[in-house]
C-alpha cells in the first residue's frame, strides 16, 4: 500500500517539478492526483479532503506560481503538510508517574493484545531498563490468563500469579500491591477482547481505568484494519 502511494506521489511530483512554470490548472490537477492517491491508500475521505484544502491555498499562492521553481515549492508544501498530518513530533511512552506505572492494552477480539503485551514488556525491559510485570484481566476466554503467563515464562517477564475466579477490578488491586512488593516499575494490563458493541465489557474498561488510572492506554489493531481503526479508537475512547 505504501509502495503504491510512494510511486503515485513520485509520478505527480516529477511532473510538477519538470514544469518550468505552473498555472492554477496544473497545480489543481496535481492536487487532484494526490487526493486520489490518498483515497486509494485507504485514507479516509474527510482526512484527504482536509489535507487538500490545507495545501491548496498555499500551493496556489502567487509567489509560488510566479517563482522560478514552482514545482519544488509545491512539493515542499505537500511534504510539510504530510509531516504535520502524520504527527510532527514523536511522543515517547509516558513513564512519568510514581512506580508501579500502570498501562493498559485494549482492542478488538484477536487483534493481538496479549502478544503485544509481551512484546511491549520486552521492549520496556530492554530499552528502558525497567522491571515489568504483566497482568491478564481476561477472565472470559478460557486459558487467556494462562496464555500471558506462558509468554511471560518463555520470555523471562514477571506475571501476576493467576487466582481463578477473581474479578478484573480485584486483580488490578492485587497487581498493584504485588508490584509494590516485588519491585516492578511498570505494570502492563492485558484486557479481554471486545466486539465493540458489547456494552458490558466496555463499561468494564471504564471500571478498570478507575482502579489503575493508566498513564497510557494502547489500542492494539491488526495492520489490515485500515481506516476502520479510527472509528474503533473513537469507540474505545468514548468508554474510557
Ligand atoms: N502474524 C502475526 N500474528 C500475530 C501478531 N500478533 C499476534 N498474532 C497472532 O494473532 C492471534 C491473536 O493474538 P493475541 O495476542 O492472542 O490477540 P488478543 O487480542 O489478545 O486476542 P483476544 O484476547 O482473544 O481478544 C494469535 O494467534 C497470535 O499468535 C503479529 O504481529 N503478527
Ligand atoms: Mg488476549
pLDDT per residue, tens digit, the chain (240 aa), is 678 888 999 999 898 888 878 888 888 999 999 999 999 988 889 999 999 999 999 988 877 777 878 888 889 999 999 999 888 888 899 998 999 999 999 999 999 999 999 999 999 999 999 999 999 999 999 999 999 999 999 999 999 999 999 999 999 999 999 999 999 999 999 999 988 667 888 889 999 999 999 999 999 999 888 888 888 888 888 877
Nearest CA, atom 7, ligand 1 = 112
Q: Model's pTM, two decimal places?
A: 0.85
Instruction: State whether the beta carbon of 145 lies less than 6 angstroms from ligand 1.
Output: no
Which domain, by its residues, includes 116? 101-239
| CATH at 207 | 3.40.50.300
Of 61, 86, 111, the position where a domain reaches its end is 86
**CA torsion sign, 174 to 175 to 180 to 181?**
positive
Map grid coordinates 502567487 to a residue: 62
CA 80 to chain centre: 21
Nearest CA, atom 31, ligand 1 = 112
Overall number of domains in the chain: 2
Residues 134 and 170 in one domain: yes
Instruction: State whether the beta carbon of 196 lies less than 6 angstroms from ligand 1.
Output: no
Q: Are 41 and 226 spatial neighbours (Cβ–Cβ below 8 Å)?
A: no
Instruction: State whether the beta carbon of 113 lies less than 6 angstroms from ligand 1.
Output: yes
Residues 72 and 115 in one domain: no
Residues 143 and 211 in one domain: yes
CA of 192 to the centre of ligand 2 (A): 6
Going from the C-alpha of 139 to that of each of 145, 161, 169, the distances in angstroms are 7, 13, 11
Amino acid at each position: 500500500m505504501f509502495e503504491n502511494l510512494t510511486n503515485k506521489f513520485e509520478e505527480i511530483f516529477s511532473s510538477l517539478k519538470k514544469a518550468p512554470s505552473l498555472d492554477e490548472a496544473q497545480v489543481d490537477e496535481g492536487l487532484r492526483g494526490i487526493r486520489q492517491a490518498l483515497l486509494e491508500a485507504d485514507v479516509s475521505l474527510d482526512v484527504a479532503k482536509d489535507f487538500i484544502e490545507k495545501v491548496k491555498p498555499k500551493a496556489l499562492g502567487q509567489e509560488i506560481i510566479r517563482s522560478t521553481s514552482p514545482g519544488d515549492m509545491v512539493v515542499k508544501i505537500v511534504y510539510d503538510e504530510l509531516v504535520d498530518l502524520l504527527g510532527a513530533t514523536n511522543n515517547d511512552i509516558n513513564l512519568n508517574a510514581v512506580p508501579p506505572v500502570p498501562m493498559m492494552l485494549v482492542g478488538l477480539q484477536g487483534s493481538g493484545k496479549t502478544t503485544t503485551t509481551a512484546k511491549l514488556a520486552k521492549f520496556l525491559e530492554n530499552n528502558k531498563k525497567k522491571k515489568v510485570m504483566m497482568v491478564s484481566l481476561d477472565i472470559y476466554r478460557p486459558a487467556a490468563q494462562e496464555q500471558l503467563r506462558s509468554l511471560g515464562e518463555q520470555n523471562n517477564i514477571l506475571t501476576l500469579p493467576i487466582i481463578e475466579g477473581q474479578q478484573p477490578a480485584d486483580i488490578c488491586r492485587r497487581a498493584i500491591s504485588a508490584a509494590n512488593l516485588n519491585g516492578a516499575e511498570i505494570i502492563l494490563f492485558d484486557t479481554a477482547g471486545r466486539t465493540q458493541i458489547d456494552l458490558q465489557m466496555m463499561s468494564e474498561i471504564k471500571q478498570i481505568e478507575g482502579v489503575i488510572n493508566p498513564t497510557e492506554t494502547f489500542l492494539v489493531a491488526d495492520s489490515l484494519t485500515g481506516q476502520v481503526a479510527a472509528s474503533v479508537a473513537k469507540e474505545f475512547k468514548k468508554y474510557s
